[in-house]
Each structure stands twice: as structure tokens, then as C-alpha cells.
Amino acid sequence: MSRNMIGANQELFATLERYCLVRDQPIESAGGGRYVATNAEEKRLLKDLKVGTCIRFGNHRSLTHLFLSDSHYIGTVGFEFEPGAPNLTLIENNAGLTVCLLVESRASPLASPPTVRNIVEVGSRADVDYSGHESRLIESLFPSIQVLQSTEPLDDDSLWRLCLMICAEECKQGGSWIEHELASELVALTDLNIPSMPYSAICRSIFDADPRSLFMALYRCLEATYSHQSSRRLIDKLALNISWQDMAAALESEIGWHPQESASLNVVLQHTVESDLEAICDCLRVEVGKDVQASAGRAVYSLRNSVVHFRPGTREIGVDEIDWNRLCLLLIRVVFDVFIQAYS
């Protein structure tokens, strides 16, 4: 379905008008009919570009999948650095891409209200010689915009892997709690190319100021493999020709069965490196018993419960009590080992 170009421009300038109004500096002749000047090709893009997934990290940062025929793009808003992701090429922005991206991502301006007014109030349809606002001036009012073109069409899985890579690369260079080594491990995680990996959960957590969000996203990766061994045994017992994921889904939907979390965690941890599990225990200040998998499993599951639950008797784990960079780095290595076992 084609985009209404007049409606898109109205929405863009309405955003600027609301921005100034709530800051007690209303734009003169608000709603007076303004638009961004475009040429024929830019009009075509604005009208026909389709929008896939849009990931918003607040009002000032987002990633948006745009496509038209076989041309696929990822538009970034609020990213400071040029992504170095493979198969993506930074292209020159234009008015059609700018308006489409700002409207679809619902970006909020960053410029001061006086600056916004100085640019917006320059003209409107009420002026005889008005021919639209310059795209570069409107773009300057918002967080930085970059458009990356993919060398091949993007499905959901490849899109999320690229988005995670872009976000991790930004963390490497930007002001994030995530340090360089952890960011590099996150990038390496995208090499798995496994459809069931919850890349989206990791990606959405990466810019959260609370590191417990990334911990929980990585825990969900482990959780995604809990049914693996039980489902495989049942498939073999019944001599069925289905995937273990389909068996696990059927068991839960039809009879409400799902594996016990704490016990399943200990089972999946058998497929990872013991030194990583010992390091996790050390990170969480837990003594390693005779069974390192059980010790690490109890420690991780206990931390998960303290993050998820809030009830009398539950001690909240303070953000400063744990080296989250080290813990999340170790969990990524564990996730890598566990997923290779379950999905290879």
C-alpha cells in the first residue's frame, strides 16, 4: 500500500509543532501546510517504501527496516557511528528517505525550540513563493540519520542479526555500560545464524541502562533449549520424524507440559566449558561444589529469580554488586555452546 505523501509531511511537521508547544514556544501558523521539498525520485521513495520491523530505543534512537522491490535498507536514527556490518553499505540520504524514516520511527527532535521555530517558520503554503523546506535543515533538527543498503534481501532472522551487530558496534564506541570485550562477544554471537536464537530480545535490551536486562535476555537464550533433550528422547521413543522444537511446542500447547526450569538449566549446562561455569560461580560469589554444572545452575537461576520476582524475603541484587560485563560475557560463551548442541 502506498504512503500518503501529504499525510506523511503533515505528521512530520505536526511532531515539530507539538515539540515546541509543550515547551511553551508555539510555532506561528501551526498547521499552515508545510512540506519537505522532494524531486521525482524522492517522491517515489516516500510514496512506495514499505516498512518492516522498527525497533525503537526511546524517542531518540531507532532502527527501521525499509524495502522497495528487491532493495532493502536499514535506517538508523540517533546512532553516532557508522555501522561496520557486512553486506551493508552507507548510502547518501535524501528527502524521501528522511521523511519516511522520521515519520515511521516517530523520532523526537533534539534541537532547541528556538532553533526549530527558526527553521519551520521560514515559510508555509500561505507564502506565494513557498516551494517546501530543505530536507537537510529539517534533518538537522533530529538525531543523526544514516541509511544503509543491504546487498541482499533481508528476512526476519538476518535482519535481527544485523540489528544486533549494529547495536553492539555502537556500544563499542559510544557511552554504554557495555565494554569493548563484551560488545565483541555480542557481535560474535551473530555468527551462529540460528533461526531460533532470540536475537530480538538481546537487541532490545542492549541500550537499557540496567545491565540486568541483558542478563535476562541471555538467560532466555538458555531457556529456549530447555526442552531439547526431553523432546528428543520422546521423538526417538515414538520413532517420529519431526523436530524437537515442534515436539516441545506440541507438548506445551496440547497438554501444558514444559520442563522444570532449574533442573533443565543444569542439564543444558552439561554442554558447555567447565572453566566458564567456574568463572560464573566466582563472578556470583558462589562456592563450586562437586558438580560444577549444578553450582553454576543454582547461581544463575537464583540471580534470575531475584531479578524477576519481588516478594517478601527476596533480596534484590544491586546493580553495583556484580561485574555485569564479565557475567554477560561468560553467559554468551555458554549460550554459544548450548545452542550449537541443541540446534546443530
Question: Is pLDDT above 60 for 167?
Answer: yes
Listed residues 100, 127, 153: the one ending a domain: 153
Amino acid letter at 8? Answer: A
Average pLDDT of the residues of the chain = 86
126 and 216 part of one domain: no
Q: Is residue 286 in a domain? A: yes
Q: Which residue has the higher pLDDT, 340 or 297?
A: 297
* Co-location of 137 and 179 in the same domain: no
Residue after which a domain boundary falls, among 125, 153, 181: 153
* Spatial CA neighbour of 326 closest among 317, 334, 316, 337: 334
pLDDT band at 147 (very low <50, low <70, confident <90, very high): very high
131 and 185 in a common domain: no
Query: Are 215 and 176 found together in one domain?
Result: yes
DSSP state of 316: P
What pLDDT score was predicted for residue 342? Answer: 67
pLDDT band at 126 (very low <50, low <70, confident <90, very high): confident
Q: Is residue 200 in a domain?
A: yes
- If asked whether residues 107 and 177 sit together in one domain, one would say no
Alpha-carbon distances, residue 289 vs 81, 254, 265 (angstroms): 45, 39, 16
Judge if 325 and 203 occupy the same domain: yes
* 146 plus 185 within the same structural domain: no
- Judged against a pLDDT cut of 70, whether residue 246 lies above it is answered with no
**Residue 262 · residue 226 · CB < 8 Å:** no
The residues that bridge with 77 in the sheet, in sequence order, are 62, 145
Structural domain total, the chain: 2
Q: How many other β-carbons are positioned within 10 Å of the β-carbon of residue 319?
A: 12
**Predicted local distance difference test score (pLDDT) of residue 28:** 85
* Predicted confidence band of residue 258 (pLDDT cuts 50, 70, 90): low
Instruction: Kindly tell me if the per-residue pLDDT of 260 is higher than 70.
Output: no
Co-location of 94 and 179 in the same domain: no
| pLDDT score of 229 more than 70 | no
Higher pLDDT, 340 or 208: 208
Query: Is 149 in a helix, a strand, or coil?
Result: strand
- Cell numbers placing 282: 566466582
Print the domain residue range for 85: 5-153
Q: Identify any residues that bridge with 63 across adjacent strands, giving them in sequence order.
A: 55, 76
Show which of 118, 153, 188 is a domain's final residue: 153
Same domain, 212 and 277: yes
pLDDT tens track for 90-113: 999 999 999 999 999 999 999 999
Instruction: Please state which of the ranges 3-12, 40-49, 192-201, 267-276 shows the lowest mean pLDDT.
Output: 192-201
Mark whether 116 and 195 lie in a shared domain: no
Answer yes or no: is 163 within a domain: no
